[in-house]
Chains A and B, each alone.
Chain A
């Protein structure tokens, strides 16, 4: 008994030391992550921020950013959910390959993604002829911005959603089956609601990545105010001529990102309760 208590105390002392070192080292990272954000905020007076929000270039860029990132996130959810479902539930030939493929854009430098998109969907690209025949020209178009965002952001949604679907307890699915729910019904009424928090977290991460997209966009879709110049591009272009404007634009983008991240962070618990109830109280 006493030796066990001593053992316990010794362990927790070591643990304490470990945590202290971790906190010490963590402080440096916190500094690295936090200071740039803080310094952006203190650099810009609120009045100037509001003035800048009326600048047509900013309005256009912000509108375009919100529009394209919403569109790409929606498309990723629509097309990514089936992929996540297959990866989470099925074993098939080429699954490993598919896994690598959907994760690749995450590690690919965005500029490389842009060049790859040009060689695939550009006018002279592999699929460019087919797209052209359908009257679709992606480079220099708003749709091109959406495609670039989808390319870089899809892995975030698919990864999180797949994990969420895989974690759903088999017993619920079996129960649903014994109640004679067909697989489609089971998926939509049981599996999906249970995985909803992961799905929403994945969508939020994908959306954030899409909103911040720069390299693939400027390479693939170019830079045209009102058409392809999203906020990150506007920041970059402004930085070359008017540093103060670039800083203000950055703060605007930071605020928008923060707002969405916070709303998602605060929401999941509510969604979980909602999801479980909606999914399981049916029968």
Chain B
């Protein structure tokens, strides 16, 4: 063995063995000056704009996000992922996090969201109104039931079943057309936007600037729609609770609420 090879072997062993070396390098954890936010994927666009605002207000602060389905975020937190803030798309997964002692203080509602039905702009299945979703052979994509948007979608379909002009078995017939249960609501939008699905159910806020040109949106009347409620809370394990509270203050401020509304969310 040459001296060079010996040195590199020792070096490699040192790198592997030394505590505080690679193994300790933070991956998703937060370092001082970094605010780590776990947020429902439907908040992506609004939160990114809010984060830029917060970073301008607090020079040196960096906001990093983990956007995913709320159910996935809650389980990740339960399994020990470290974050400062959790913003869920429904109360269910916030309650889950609270139940496991992950949340510090009281969660606060900061926004609401409406469900819409989206179809590709080319509208291959020629859907003209919500009643058409019962037509057999339509390829409908929804979020999985565990995903907040998936639960809301099924509730809204149930509500519509009682509406004038809708058959009583509306929900059952529409759900029979589901060809995929996506793991988050943005995947629903992607499948519709690509034209692979004939229709999908997503939040109004998911029809963002990049998706809007490719989609046609059908509103679900308010009296049958389900209003998604978004709670946010500081987490017990937060490394930077001050920054976390600053983010919540921004969310609740008129300026923050304005940003949320510009991205299709409703005021709290």
- Interface residues of chain A, those whose CB is within 8 Å of chain B, are 14, 17-18, 21, 24-25, 28, 118, 122-124, 139-140, 218, 221-225, 227-228, 236-237, 239-241, 243
Contact = CB atoms under 8 A, between A and B. Distances in A.
Given A118-B196, A122-B196, A123-B196, A243 B71 contact: no
21 contacts: A14-B1, A18-B1, A24-B13, A25-B9, A25-B12, A25-B16, A118-B194, A118-B196, A122-B196, A139-B196, A222-B179, A222-B180, A222-B181, A223-B181, A223-B182, A224-B180, A239-B72, A240-B72, A240-B183, A243-B75, A243-B78
A233 B78 CA distance: 21
Contacts of A218: 183
Given A222-B141, A225-B181, 15 more contacts: A25-B9, A123-B196, A124-B195, A140-B197, A218-B183, A222-B180, A222-B182, A223-B144, A223-B180, A223-B183, A224-B178, A228-B180, A237-B181, A240-B147, A243-B78
A25 B196 CA distance: 49
Contact of A140 (B69, B124, B139, B195): B139
Nearest to A132: B124
Interface string B130-145: 0000000001010010
A28 B180 CA distance: 41
Interface of B: 1, 9, 12-13, 16, 69, 71-72, 75, 78-79, 122, 124, 139, 141, 144, 146-147, 178-183, 191, 194-197
Nearest to A139: B196
Of A18, A222, A228, chain B has the most CB atoms within 10 Å of the CB of A222
Nearest to B17: A28
A21 B196 CA distance: 54
A76 to B, nearest CB: 25
Given A14-B1, A25-B12, A122-B196, A237 B179 contact: no
A63 to B, nearest CB: 18
Contacts of A118: 194, 196
Contacts of A224: 178-181
A240 B146 contact: yes
Contacts of A221: 180
Nearest to B68: A240
Contact of A240 (B69, B122, B179): B69
B145 to A, nearest CB: 9
Contacts of B124: 123
Contacts of B13: 24-25
A24 B10 CA distance: 11
Contacts of A241: 71, 75, 146
Contacts of A139: 191, 196
A214 to B, nearest CB: 11
Contacts of B75: 239-241, 243
Contacts of B78: 243
Contact of A17 (B1, B144, B181, B191): B1
A74 B180 CA distance: 26
Nearest to B184: A240
Contacts of B197: 140
Contacts of B9: 21, 25
A228 B183 CA distance: 13
A231 to B, nearest CB: 15
Nearest to A24: B13
Nearest to A233: B183
Contacts of B147: 240
Contact of A122 (B16, B71, B194): B194
Nearest to A22: B9
A234 B79 CA distance: 19
Contacts of A223: 144, 180-183
A230 to B, nearest CB: 13
B195 A122 contact: yes
Contacts of A18: 1
A28 B16 contact: yes
What are the 9 A-B residue pairs with the smallest beta carbon separation, nearest first?
A222-B180, A140-B179, A124-B195, A241-B146, A240-B72, A139-B196, A240-B71, A122-B196, A224-B180
**Considering residues B1, B141, B181, which has the most beta carbons from chain A within 10 angstroms of its beta carbon?**
B181
A241 B122 CA distance: 35
A44 to B, nearest CB: 17
Contacts of A228: 180
Contacts of A25: 9, 12-13, 16
A224 B144 CA distance: 9
A274 to B, nearest CB: 44
A236 B13 CA distance: 34
Contact of A124 (B12, B72, B181, B196): B196
Contact of B180 (A24, A140, A240): A140
Nearest to A140: B179
Contact of A237 (B139, B183, B195): B183
Contacts of B179: 140, 222, 224, 227
